[in-house]
């Protein structure tokens, strides 16, 4: 099956316009592709994965494009460790909306791209908002990508013709989109801005959840206070660690309802635990029941530290300025045809106004575009006014 071309797809499927992609399911063929990827200037990549029944995402397929070639790599049939050489080689790795794919690749082969170009991020700097890949391909090429079924089982083998056609289409246009978007970015003088954001995404890599923060993802737990909150924090941390150990979704280990119920009832015995709503019988006996009670005891008498985040307090006198500045930033972004969230979020504005030294608007292109202007506004050196057409204008104030 190695190097199988799409015209010999399983089940006699017709691969139509995407003929020519390779199906890779042995190490020798994969090794040859890795060697080729280490020699090219850029290659495109996408992944298909599932995480509905596991804690960590299950990689089900890797799609690659380079020069005029495409390949679908079966991760169940090859050793993925050598692929790190391609990711960390000289080529620019082109992806679309890469954050989850980066996590998957880091887990699969312990590596992140040396240099990333994210077509979704790049599009946000040249008037395309943050589009889906299908929308971007249609905009630039007038092509409608095959529609995928969000319930497709990528773990089954063999993959059907429609699945493979859809998977190959996800990398078909990535390299061309990079060229087109780079040209538009250079024309507007924003290539460095986009590349800087791609680097931020790349460097962020895999998001590693801290078990002690897991309780904050439970809506009902965030309203708890005092010892009750501390117990919720302890029980949720146990659940997170247990889910990682078993590679199961946290809800399979212990429900949100059970975490909150245990925190509120503070059981001391297995019999107490059994009577709590949301606690299954299997959770109230043996090692699991003992572990839950131990987590309760660990939280008993404790207080919860403040959640990780900004440590500043925004001056009450400046709070009205946040909405006004946000409106101006939104208008400026529309005028410049840049996705507003890429320029500044409300949290960015609050951090700047509060004097946070790590504020995103104090460095790089954002400082020049909006950060310095906001500082001048707050310091009284500039003012916002309506121009008579409903638009906000930042004007210099006459000095005394």
Is residue 370 within 8 A of residue 382, CB to CB? The reply is no
Residue from 25, 55, 74, 101 carrying the catalytic annotation? 101
DSSP 370: I
Spot the catalytic one: 25, 118, 170, 350. 170
Q: What is the dihedral of CA 208, 211, 212, 216, to 10 degrees?
A: 80
**One-character DSSP codes across 188-227:** HT-HHHHHHHHHHHHHH-S----GGGGGGGSGGGGG--HH
The residue with tokens 């700097």 is 125
User: 157: which DSSP letter?
Assistant: S
Pairwise CA distance, residues 191 & 272, whole Å:
61
* Nearest in space to 137 (alpha carbons), one of 167, 166, 172, 101: 172
DSSP 110: S
In degrees, rounded to 5, the angle at the alpha carbon of residue 200 between the alpha carbons of residues 132 and 56 is 70
User: What gap in Å lies between CA 43 and CA 83, rounded to an integer?
Assistant: 13
Give the residue from 336, 356, 334 showing the smallest Cα distance to 347: 356
Q: Residue 203: exposed, middle, or buried by beta-carbon count in 10 A (0-12, 13-18, 19+)?
A: exposed
Answer yes or no: 17 catalytic: no
Q: Report residue 249 CA to chain centroid gap.
A: 18
> Which of the residues 103, 162, 166, 256 is marked catalytic?
166
Tell me how far apart the alpha carbons of residues 358 and 140 are, in angstroms, rounded to a whole number: 38
**Residue 101 is a catalytic residue:** yes
Give the single-character DSSP code of 34.
H
Q: Distance between CA 388 and CA 233 in Å, rounded?
A: 53
Dihedral angle, C-alpha 299, 207, 339, 176, nearest 10 °:
-170
Sign of the dihedral through C-alpha 350, 355, 360, 364: positive
Is residue 240 annotated as a catalytic residue, yes or no? no
Catalytic residues: 46, 48, 101, 166, 170
């Amino acid at each position: 099956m190695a190097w199988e071309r799409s015209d010999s797809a399983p089940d006699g499927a017709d691969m139509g316009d995407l003929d020519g992609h390779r199906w890779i399911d042995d190490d020798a063929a994969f090794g040859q592709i890795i060697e080729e990827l280490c020699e090219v200037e850029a290659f495109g990549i996408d992944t298909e994965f599932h995480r509905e029944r596991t804690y960590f995402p299950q990689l089900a397929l890797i799609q690659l494009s380079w020069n005029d070639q495409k390949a679908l790599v079966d991760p169940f049939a090859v050793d993925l460790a050598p692929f790190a050489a391609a990711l960390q080689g000289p080529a620019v790795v082109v992806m679309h909306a890469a954050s989850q794919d980066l996590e998957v690749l880091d887990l699969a082969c312990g590596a992140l791209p040396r240099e990333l170009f994210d077509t979704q991020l790049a599009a946000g700097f040249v008037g395309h908002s943050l589009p889906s890949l299908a929308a971007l391909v249609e905009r630039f090429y007038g092509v409608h990508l095959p529609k995928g079924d969000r319930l497709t089982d990528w773990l089954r083998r063999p993959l059907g013709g429609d699945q493979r056609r859809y998977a190959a289409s996800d990398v078909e246009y990535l390299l061309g989109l990079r060229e087109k978007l780079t040209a538009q970015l250079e024309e507007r003088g924003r290539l460095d801005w986009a590349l800087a954001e791609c680097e931020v995404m790349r460097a962020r890599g895999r998001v590693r959840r801290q078990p002690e923060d897991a309780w904050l993802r439970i809506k009902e737990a965030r309203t708890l206070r005092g010892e009750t909150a501390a117990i919720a924090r302890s029980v949720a941390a146990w659940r997170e660690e247990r889910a990682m150990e078993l590679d199961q979704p946290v809800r399979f280990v212990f429900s949100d309802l059970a975490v909150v119920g245990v925190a509120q009832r503070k059981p001391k015995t297995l019999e107490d635990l059994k009577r709590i709503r949301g606690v299954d019988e299997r959770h109230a006996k043996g090692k699991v029941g003992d572990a839950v009670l131990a987590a309760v005891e660990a939280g008993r008498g404790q207080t919860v530290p403040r959640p990780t985040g900004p440590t500043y307090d925004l001056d009450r006198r400046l709070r009205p300025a946040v909405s006004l500045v946000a409106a101006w930033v939104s208008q400026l972004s529309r005028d410049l045809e840049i996705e507003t969230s890429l320029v500044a979020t409300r949290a960015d504005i609050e951090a700047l106004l509060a004097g946070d030294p790590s504020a995103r608007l104090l460095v790089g292109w954002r400082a020049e575009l909006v950060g310095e202007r906001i500082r001048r506004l707050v310091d009284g050196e500039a003012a916002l006014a309506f121009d008579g057409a409903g638009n906000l204008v930042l004007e210099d104030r006459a000095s005394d």
